[in-house]
Amino acid sequence: MPPLRYAQLRYLSLILTTWLAVFFLTRSALLIGHLGDANVGVAQLLGIYGIGLMYDVAFLLYAALPLTLYLVLCPRRLWERPWHNGFMHTLLAISLFAMLFTAVAEWLFWDEFGVRFNFISVDYLVYSDEVINNILESYPIYPLLAFLALIAVVGTVLLRKVTDAALQAPLLRWRDTWTTLTALLLAGVATTLAVGQDFPRGIGGNAYQRELASNGPFQFFAAFRNNELEYPQFYATLPTQEVAAQLRQEVSEPNAHFLGTDPLDIRRTIDNPGEPLKLNVVLVTIESLSAKYLGSFGDSRGLTPNMDKLRQQSLFFNNFYATGTRTDRGLEAITLSIPPTPGRSIVKRIGRESGFASLGQQFREQGYDSVFMYGGRGYFDNMNAFFGGNGYRIVDQSSVSESEIHFKNAWGIADEDLYAQAIKQADADHATGKPFFLQLMTTSNHRPYTYPEGRIDIPSGDGRAGAVKYTDYAIGQFLAQARQKPWFDRTVFIFVADHTAGSAGTEDLPVANYHIPLFVYAPKVIKPQEFAGLTSQIDLAPTLLGLLNMDYTSTFYGRNVLRADAAPGRALIGNYQHLGLFDGEDLAILSPRRAVRRHDDALRLSHESDAQINDPLVRRDIAFYQGASYAFTRGLLSWQPDRSNQTHLSQR
Q: Distance (Å, rounded) from C-alpha 533 to C-alpha 520?
A: 15
Confidence of residue 1 (pLDDT cuts 50, 70, 90): very low
Q: Is the pLDDT of residue 600 over 50?
A: yes
Q: What is the pLDDT of residue 649?
A: 38
pLDDT in the model for residue 353:
95
- Whether the pLDDT of residue 129 is over 80: the answer is no
How far is residue 95's CA from residue 45's CA, in Å, rounded to a whole number? 29
Rounded Cα distance between 350 and 335, Å, is 17
Distance between CA 398 and CA 386 in Å, rounded?
17
State which amino acid sits at residue 253: E
CA distance 451 to 342: 35
The three-state DSSP-derived secondary structure of 215-243 is CHHHHHHHHHHCCCCCHHHHCCCCCHHHH
Residue 534: alpha-carbon gap to chain centroid: 22
Kindly give, in sequence order, each residue whose CB lies less than 8 Å from that of residue 274, ignoring residues fewer than 6 positions away.
549
Residue pLDDT, tens place only, 336-353: 999 999 888 999 998 999
Instruction: Please give the average per-residue pLDDT across 52-65, as a whole number.
Output: 91
> Over 70: is that where the pLDDT of 247 sits?
yes
**Which segments of 464-503 does DSSP mark as H helices, in order?**
464-482
**How far, in Å, CA of 361 to CA of 367, rounded?**
10
Degrees to nearest 5, angle at CA 139 with 418 and 287? 30
Judging by beta carbons within 10 Å of its beta carbon (0-12, 13-18, 19+), is residue 614 exposed, middle or buried?
exposed
DSSP 3-state assignment of 582?
strand
What interhelical angle do 82-113 and 119-126 show, nearest 10? 120
**Residue-wise DSSP of 120-132:** HHHHHHHTHHHHH
Distance, in Å, from the CA atom of 288 to the CA atom of 499, rounded to the nearest integer, reads 5
Give the C-alpha distances (Å, rounded to integers) separating 391 from 318, 361, 429, 541. Answer: 30, 5, 17, 15
Is residue 281 within a helix (H) or strand (E), and if so which, with residue range?
strand 280-286
Residue 168 CB coordination number (10 Å): 10
pLDDT given at position 222: 78
Q: How many angstroms separate the CA atoms of 78 and 82, rounded? A: 9
Neighbour tally for 352: CB within 10 Å: 15
Containing 423, the helix (H) or strand (E) segment is helix 415-432
Residue 652, pLDDT > 50, answer no
- Over the stretch 73-111, which tens digit does the pLDDT of each residue have? 899 899 989 899 999 999 999 999 999 999 999 988 888
Q: How far apart are CA 319 and CA 328, in angstroms?
A: 22
Q: Specify whether the CB–CB gap between 419 and 169 falls below 8 A.
A: no
Instruction: Give, to the nearest 10 degrees, the angle between helix 141-158 and helix 82-113.
Output: 140
Contact by Cβ (8 Å): 115, 211: yes
pLDDT given for residue 372 in this prediction: 98
**What integer is the mean pLDDT of 135-161?**
92
Are the beta carbons of 229 and 592 closer than 8 angstroms? yes
Closest listed residue to residue 48, CA positions, set 175, 200, 250, 219: 200
To which H or E segment does residue 535 belong? strand 535-536
Contact 213, 51 (CB under 8 A): yes
pLDDT tens-digit map of 565-585: 999 999 999 988 899 999 999
Can you say how many angstroms the Cα of residue 286 is from the centroid of all Cα atoms in its chain? 14
Peptide bond into 200 cis (omega under 30): yes
Surface-to-core class of residue 82, CB atoms within 10 Å of its CB (0-12 exposed, 13-18 middle, 19+ buried)? exposed
pLDDT value at 127 more than 60: no
Q: What is the mean pLDDT of residues 27-50?
A: 86
Could you tell me which residues are beta bridge partners of residue 201? none
Q: Which of 206-215, 380-389, 430-439 has the lowest mean pLDDT?
A: 206-215
The 3-state DSSP class for residue 519 equals strand
Per-residue model confidence (pLDDT) at position 124:
63
Of all residues in the chain, the percent with pLDDT exceeding 70 is 95
**Residue 605 Cα to chain centre, angstroms:** 26
Least confident piece of the model among 13-17, 215-219, 391-395: 215-219
Task: Give residue-wise pLDDT tens across range 515-562.
Answer: 999 999 999 999 999 999 999 999 999 999 999 999 999 999 999 999
Residues 6+ apart with CB under 8 A from 649: 366, 367
Residue 488 pLDDT > 70: yes
Judged against a pLDDT cut of 50, whether residue 359 lies above it is answered with yes
Is the separation of the CB atoms in 636 and 555 below 8 Å? yes
Amino acid at 67: L
pLDDT at 194 exceeding the cut of 90: no
Q: How far apart are CA 4 and CA 215, in angstroms?
A: 26
> Residue 650 has what pLDDT?
41
For residue 225, the model assigns a pLDDT of 64
Task: Of 370, 380, 367, 353, give the one whose Cα is nearest residue 283.
Answer: 370
Determine the pLDDT at residue 146. 95
Calculate what percentage of the chain has a pLDDT beyond 90.
Answer: 74
Q: Before 448, cis peptide (omega within 30)?
A: yes
**pLDDT at residue 651, as a whole number:** 40
Tens of pLDDT, residues 280-326? 999 999 999 999 999 999 999 999 999 999 999 999 999 999 999 99
The predicted model gives 147-174 an average pLDDT of 93
pLDDT tens by residue, 421-436: 999 999 999 999 999 9
| CB burial of residue 41 (10 Å; 0-12, 13-18, 19+) | exposed
- pLDDT digits over 400-457, tens only? 999 999 999 999 999 999 999 999 999 999 999 999 999 999 999 999 999 999 999 9
The mean pLDDT value of the chain amounts to 91
d(CA 411, CA 448): 9
